[in-house]
Amino acid sequence: MSRGGVAFGDRLAEVFDAHGRLCVGIDPHAHLLESWGLTDSAAGVREFGLAVVEAAVGRAGIVKPQVAFFERYGSAGYAALEDVLAAAREAGLLVIADAKRGDIGTSVAAYAEAWLTPGAPLEADAMTISAFQGVGSIAEPMRLAEDAGKGLFVLAATSNPEAEGIQKAVVESGPRAGSTVARAIIDDVTSFNQAQPAHAFGTVGLVLGATLDLGSYGIDTATASVVATPVLAPGFGHQGARVQDAARLFGSLAGGVIVSESRGLLKAGPRAIADAIERRAAEVRSVDV
């Protein structure tokens, strides 16, 4: 396992205890680069990412680079991302690569190797991943994550309206027949975590939008899981969800919620970003989730 042999779920619990639940998104939109006085280039996103990492250190424990905003500059963008990932991990931050990869067989295994292999150029502590070809399609990334002390966050109920029809669709066959797609993904993730050695949180977590009515997706948030499940929850801050409502929104899953915020913090600009993170982290810590 990476980071001294400590499992991802145990390190996540340590971060919660030391710094709270705030996850600072590193999303270098073109308009943010402009407002920060940076060029719309690989050099600009590198400087942006490193500045956010520096601002987060000692104030928050988790950062989440959005890979797409680096990828649009090609190989130079990936070189910039490698520098940002390395700086964040060297500073002791827990790094979630928001890559949203998904495929089958050896292809999806290669994605996992790229982001989760200790010592790899793109090494992160966890990555986001899609399982809409079935959770069985990501069996190899789940195994690799468990073996390497890394984490995965599987898209289950995302907040973009285009996804609602698919995520609420009902599975017609197999052991999850009758469940919504979102609920089937959650149940498959839970089953995997239950079969692994005990950790403070499961190796495989979920992406659940904080702006959603999860009950309408067939997700019973009152039912406690045997294994505490990490939940990457976008939608707080700029998108309108309130941390004070986390317990009501996520029920038994609330204990694993990572409060993910990007634009609401990044708009503060390079001179005020550190103060914005510090204030928001303190606010998140003050809420009893």
What residues act catalytically? 100
The structure tokens listed for 214 are 């999860």
Would you list the DSSP string of the chain?
A: -HHHH--HHHHHHHHHHHH-SEEEEE---HHHHHHTT--SSHHHHHHHHHHHHHHHTTT-SEEEEBTHHHHTTHHHHHHHHHHHHHHHHHTT-EEEEEEEE--SHHHHHHHHHHHHSTT-TT--SEEEE--TT-GGGGHHHHHHHHHHT-EEEEEEE-S-GGGHHHHTSBP-SSTTTTSBHHHHHHHHHHHHHHTSPP-SS-SEEEEE-TTS-GGGGT--TTS--SS---EEEETBGGGSB-GGGHHHHHGGGGGGEEEEESHHHHTT-TTTHHHHHHHHHHHHHTS--
Place of tokens 């990572």: 258
